[in-house]
Each structure stands twice: as C-alpha cells, then as structure tokens.
Chains A and B, each alone.
Chain A
Amino acid sequence: MSDSLSYLLMAWLDPSLLGLTALGVLGGIYIGAIPGLSVTMAVSILISFTFSWDINNALALMVGIYVGGVYGGSRTAILLNIPGAPSAVTTAFDGYPLAQRGEAGKAIGLSTIMSVIGGIMGTVVLAGTAPYLSDLSLQFAPRDYFLIAVLGLLLVSSLSGKSLARGIFAVALGATIGLVGMDPVTAQPRLTMGSMELMGGISYVAVMIGLFGVAEALYQLHNLAKVPVKQNVNKIVPPLNMILKFLPLSMRASLIGVIVGALPGTGGDIASLFAYDHAKRSVKNPSRPFGEGAYEGLVAPETANNAAVGGAYVPMLTLGMPGDAVTAVIIGALVIHGLNPGPMLMIETPYIFWFTVGNLALANIFLLIFGLTGIKIFSKIVEVPKSILIPLIVVLCVVGAYSINSNMMDVYWMLGFGILGYWLKVFGFQMGPIILGVILGPMLDESYRQAMSSVGDQGGQFLLSLFTNPLSLILSSVTILVLLSNTPLKGWVLARFKRQ
C-alpha cells in the first residue's frame, strides 16, 4: 500500500515530471483547440521524440497532452463554433450561443471546471474499479455494440433541431460518408468509384473541419456588417452555487463518460454525444432552451469527454487493450520502451498503474490552472472583426486538414464538405447529425456483421440473441423505450393501456 502511495505521488514530487506534465497540459490545450491537430498525432510524434527518455518522463508528457487536448477542443467550439476535436462537437451546440450572448468567458470558465470534475471522476473510477470495469467492458459482445450504435442513431432526435426529417437525412448522409473505403470483411473497395485515394475512406476529421469550420466561416459572411458581441470577461470562474447546482448532472455525465470510454472501440466523441442527449432528456427546466445557450448543454459533454480519458485507461492498464486511439498509441510507446502492456502489466510493473493514476490527477490540477488563466485574451477572439477572423479560420482549416495524414486529398474533402455544409446550413440542416452518422455508420456496419456471423448468419438467431443475454436485454429494452418515447408510438401505446 505504501508502495502504491509513493508511486501515486511520484509525479507530484519529482520536479521534472511535474514540469513535463504541466508542459503537456499547456501544449495539449492548444493542440486540441486547433481543428485537425489531434492528440493521437501529437502522442505518436512524441514516441520517436522521447525514444531515449526515461519511460516516466515520456508517460508524464503524454498524459498531460491527452488531458489538455481533450479539453482544448472546447475552446474553439465555444468561441468560433468550430470544435477543435470530434469530442467537442456537442460543446458547440450551447457553447457558441453563449459566446454570442457575450458570455464566452463564463462558458470557458464553466467548461474548465466541469472538465476538471469529469477528469477527476474518471481518475477516481479508474483507481477504484479498474479491474471490475474492464471485466464489465469485456462482456460487451458485437451485438451489444450494435445496440449501442442503434441507440446512438436515436440521438438524432436531440441533435436535429427543429426538423426531424432533415436530421434523419443528415444522419443518412453521414453514415454513407462513413462507409466509403474498404469493406471490412471482404477487403474490397466500397463506394470508391475506382479511385485509389478513396480506398482509405474519407477522414471524418476532414469532414468535421469542413462542416464546422469552413461552412461556419462561409455562413458568417452573411453577418459581416454585424458588430461583434462585446464580451463580459469579469465573471470567469462560475460561482460555487452554480457549480453545486450542476454537480448531479456532471456526476451522471461523468459516469456515462467513464463507461463509454472504457469500452474498447468507443471514446470521448460518442461519450459526449450520449451525455448531451442525457442532459436534454433529464433536465426538465434548463437555464435556457437547449441549443440557445443552456449551461446544462455545456456541462454534460464537457464532463463526459474528460471522464472518458480515465475510462480509456481502464482496459489499457488492466489488459493491455486500448480504450481509444490515443491509448493505442501509448501502448505502442510502452512496447518501444521495453514494457509489456498486457494483463501482467499490473502484476509485474504495478507502479505504471499508480503512476498513471497520480499523473492523471496532477494533469487535471494543471488543467484547472491553465484553463482558467488567459481566458480574457481568448474571449477577445470573438471581438475580432469578421473580415479578419474569417480568412484566418479558413487558413487554420486548411492547415488542420492537411496535418491529419499529410494528404492534400483531405484538404479537398474538407473544402468540399465546407461548401456542402454551407448550403445545408442555408436550408436549415444541422451539422451534428452528419457527424453522428459518420461516427456511427461504420460502427453499425461492423458490429452488425460481426453479430450476424457469430450466430451463423441466421436472422432469427440474431434477433433472439438481442433478448436472451442479460446485458443485451438491458440495451434492447433501453433502445425500445427511447424509440417509443421519441415517436408517436408512445401515445398509441399509452392510449391502448388506458382503454384497457
């Protein structure tokens, strides 16, 4: 136990580890804030860079970047309506309207506090329940991932704004984009029209930068004459009673974040979508209607995506299996440094586990410090005249799209989707459902085919399996409930009951 404690405090007591974690968080915030510069990319570059370093130093820097990066995506989402990372897509829904009301400073302050709460909660769950949570995550069979994807598709009702029909169209469009590339089973090109460039699929980050960045920039050309909103930067740290008021919601969102993060194959992006939807369903009287600057709409995704970080470490540290793309790269770093990430990691090198837990907690402290400083200057970005800001955004989008895979093709896609997104916006379509489709389409495709082949391609067996396993039964029931409550079917069912 005393060993665990000393490992836990290692990063807190060693000045160089302390410094590297701080540096990582600070760097991560900016990497996360720029669309296209991703944490995954930063961490894989760090692998070559830190090759000759001590493993602890390398891990401290990576943890810092990870925590800072997940948070950083919210900055540009709030200020410019351009999420810096897919996990911040939902943050823009209510964050940007807040900035338009002159509350950018307050929104960033609130998102910082909530990110830290989520991050700490994720770390606590990781420290306390990692072995149990990883056992639970292993129970998820392909059919359960299929049900999660279906449940995710039902989020369309929360994301499509005023017109559900437009939302469903947007999800279908997104899902189709997500299916371009190689068929995962037959390894044959699908929807590539014979182009070799398309065999790798369309990068969903490029789609995101186009739809949110360029499309938004083009759309704002309509309001060039409008004087930018004056930002109130006096109240940045939200008052304690406000934090306490949102605490129950942030706890629930953290839980969603940790569990979704711990499932191999799902990460912060899906966690924040589910959390946003949960807030929309569970909060009866939001501070303002959702989509118009509700604080609740900011709190839920921001806590969930940072809680997912702790979750993603669960399968990584207990089993050597990645919880998301970033932890996959960190596993690679452990291998290169001569450690053996696997079930024996916690037995043979227990200090890695406790060191990571302590380091995550430390990184969240730094996040609080760096997140709350410099907001005043950041908020002023919104006050920059549009004629200067918009060209800068477009340049940033091009750089971001190119840096995903150093491929010009991604830039073309980004611009194409920017223009498409502009027209969709003009005709009242929301961008959120498109991203939902891009993320969930491939997951639905893969998990459905896995589940079907597991039962020998018999449709009846497949349907039966959705109800005969405890975990699947729970997920199916939730799916059916959500489906009923979202559609006219609900009224019909209730009427039937009343008549009887």
Chain B
Amino acid sequence: MFKPLVTSIAIAAGALAFSGIALAEYPDRNIQGTIQWGAGGATDNVVRSLTPYVEDILGTTIVLTNRPGGTGVIGMNHVMRQRPDGYNLLFGAENPELYQLMGLADFTYDDMQPISIIAQGLVVIAAPADSPFNNLSDLLDYAHEHPGELRMGGTGAGGLPSTVHAMINAVDELDVRTVTFGGDGPGITAMMGDHIDFMPLSLAAAGEQIRGGKMKGLAVLTKEEIDALPGVPPITEALPNIADFLPWGPFWGVFVRKETPEDVVGVLQDAYQQAVASDEFTRFLRDYGAEPLNLNGEEAQQYLDNWQSVTAWSMYDADPDSLKATPEALEIPRPAAAKTKAAAEDEAESEAAAE
C-alpha cells in the first residue's frame, strides 16, 4: 500500500529535482565573451581588466576570445549568430554604430541589447614634442594660410581621427593631408619620428607619451581642462562651437542579443554595474585616460542614440560623399543642439526663402 505512495513521492521528488536543474540560476556554466578587437588593443585591455571582477560576482568563468577584423564586423556578426541565452557576450567599441553609414554591415548596436556602457575614452589632439604649434589655434591659423600642407595621422574612414577631423570641419575649416595608419600605436610611432604633424588620439594611447615629453597635447576634446593633462587647453578654447558635439569620445560596452530573456539581462546588468563601480576598476579607468560611465537600460540606449546622431551628422556635414548612406535615410535624427556650419547655412537659406 505504501509502495505506490513511496514511488510517487520519489517520482515527484525526482521531477522537482529535475525542474530545479532546468530552472537553475543563470549562470550555471561558462560564459563566452567575444572581443571585437585584437589582443593588446584598448578594448582588449579594458575588457580583460574588468572581467575578473564580473567573474567574482557571477561566480562563473567568462572565456574571452579576440575575433578582430573588419573594424569589428567579424566579432559582432559571430555573437549575433549565437543563441540568445546570455551565454554569449559581445565586448565592443563604438564602431558598430557607424556600420550602416559606412556600408559595412546592415546591423548596429540597435540590433543588440546593451548590458553596460562601461566607459568613454578621452581624446587629445597631439603633435610631436618639437612642433611649432603650442595649441590648436596656432595649428588652425597655419592650416588656414597653408591649406593641404600639414600631415594629419589617421586610422582610416570612420576611425577616431577622421571623426574628430569631421567635427572640426563641421564648425571650421581644416584642409590637411591624411596619412593612414593601422591604429593609434603606429601613428604615435610615426609622430615621434616627425613623419606626421598632428593626430587626434585616444588619451589611453597618447597620455604616457605626452607625460614623457615625446609629444605635446594641442587640445583635449572636452569643454574643460582635465586633471590628467594639466596645461592642455580644452578644444572649445579654439573652437567654441564644437561644444555642441561634446561630450564625445570612443566608448566600450558589453552587449547581448536582443532576444535574450529579461531576467538574464537583469543578472548581467547588475553584475556589470557592480563590477564597473568597484574602486579598483574605476582607478584603472582613470589611469587609463577614460571616464567611467557605467550606464545600462534606458540610459545606455540614450547614450548610444546620442553618440550615433552626433557622429553621423558631423561626418555627413564635413563630407557627405565619404558615406554610403545618409543619416537621414537611416532615420538618425540630427542632434538637436548642434549648430554646424551646414546647419547655419540651411537656416540662413530658409530664412532668406521666408523673406
């Protein structure tokens, strides 16, 4: 008589245990992390510094793999083809926001769910130590008198230097020869040998060289002087109108596929928020020339949208032919505040037409 009961209890217990496994707390195994840039680069450094703190919080291992190539298209494409179960993370920089504009891929971060926008890199316009220019105004004056003569280091279309150049051209005129390098590192090396005259660089890459006296900072891309580079004027000193684009900088973030379950996204968001906020990691970021952002949810989405709109429109205003698609066609709204030359001209035209 008891036998069936015992059996049924056993079955019930078994079933309970089984369902317990099925509903196990996320994460119950290793998480795969894809870094869309190569080993030793800025994204790689930030991610590898942050990951141990996140692993502690989640109690699991995050297996990091670099999948570089195609300005990050390869790595992002890989993650977008994995299962949306939260076990595949994308660690990326700002580039995907411009893929459609540049005609590189038909996706952007809009097709993914941000877990955390970790930090934003500061940008400095640097010149060789023995450069005749002491600030950006000097350089702009010279460039106005000698157009097409100065050599600017770049990293290719859509790279940080080209975007900063576009922003400057959106509010002023800077006609230079662009010499393209494989990244910040080779550009800095060329600058130290006087093979280029200036280059917009991430502070992470250039800070130590400036501190060591091998290069000098002409301007930082902020509205105010920063602690990390005392004596280097903010860019608004030379170009007040550029303030509308700021704050702007390259950023690093963690993303999962859009279809990932909400509770899993929540667990990840909490873990990353806690890890990015940790004192050790914050200190690392500051030393590295970056500003901690630690954004998620609605705030992260707003940040991404704003970044995309500012960057896309300044590139478009500076040289529409360099883009494969117009920001308008991609439904990227024009930044509300930005008073670019083009916008001012449009305004003048419409006013003239109204009269």
Binding site for B on A (CB under 8 A): 40-41, 43-44, 47-48, 51-52, 138-142, 181-189, 196-197, 199-201, 264-265, 315, 319-322, 325, 328-332, 335-336, 338, 340-345, 347, 405-407, 446, 449-450, 453-457
Digitize B245-285: 1 where CB-to-A-CB distance is under 8 Å, 0 elsewhere. 00000000000000000000000000000000000000010
| B52 interfacial by beta-carbon distance below 8 Å | yes
- How many interface contacts (CB-CB < 8 Å) are there between A and B? 170
Assuming the contacts A52-B52, A189-B104, A406-B65, asked whether A343 and B284 have C-beta atoms less than 8 A apart, the reply is: no
B104 touches A187 (CB 8 A): yes
Q: Could you tell me if A328 and B181 are in contact, using CB atoms closer than 8 angstroms?
A: no
Q: Which of B70, B190, B192, B214 contacts A196 (CB 8 A)?
A: B70
Q: Is B189 an interface residue (CB 8 A)?
A: yes
Residues on B lying within 8 angstroms of A by beta carbon are 39-41, 44-45, 48-49, 51-52, 64-71, 73-74, 77-78, 102-105, 148-149, 151, 156-159, 177-182, 185-186, 188-190, 192-193, 195-196, 207-209, 211-214, 284, 287-288
**Contact (Cβ within 8 A) B39 A344:** no
B316–chain A nearest beta-carbon distance, Å: 16
A341 in contact with B208 (CB, 8 Å) = yes
Q: If the complex has contacts A343-B213, A344-B212, are A454 and B177 also in contact, measured as CB distance less than 8 A?
A: yes
A454 touches B151 (CB 8 A): yes
Q: Which of B51, B104, B188, B195 lies at the interface centre, i.e. has the most chain A CB atoms within 10 A of its CB?
A: B195
In the bound complex, CA of A335 to CA of B51 (Å): 15
- Which of B66, B102, B103, B208 is in CB contact (< 8 Å) with A320? B208
Which A residues lie within 8 Å of B212 (CB)? 342-344, 347
Q: Which of B77, B103, B156, B207 contacts A185 (CB 8 A)?
A: B156
Enumerate 7 A-B pairs (CB-CB under 8 Å) in ascending A order: A200-B70, A264-B186, A265-B186, A332-B41, A342-B209, A405-B69, A407-B67
Residues of B within 8 A of A320 (CB): 208-209
In the assembled complex, which residues on chain B have CB atoms less than 8 Å from the CB atom of A200? Answer: 67-70, 73-74
Taking CB atoms, residues of chain B closer than 8 Å to A328 are: 39-40, 185
**Contact yes or no, B39 A40, CB < 8 A:** yes
Q: Which 8 A-B pairs have the closest CB atoms?
A: A200-B69, A342-B208, A343-B212, A199-B70, A138-B193, A328-B40, A44-B39, A332-B40
A121 → chain B closest CB, angstroms:
24
Provided the pairs A199-B70, A200-B69, A454-B179 are in contact, do residues A338 and B213 lie with their beta carbons within 8 angstroms?
A: no
Q: Give, as a whole number of angstroms, the nearest-CB distance from B175 to chain A.
A: 11
Residues of A within 8 A of B67 (CB): 200, 405-407
Q: Are A319 and B214 in contact (CB under 8 A)?
A: yes
A141–B195 touching, CB < 8 Å: yes
How far is the CB of B8 from the nearest CB of chain A, in Å?
48
Given contacts A321-B188, A336-B45, contact A185 B180 (CB under 8 A): yes
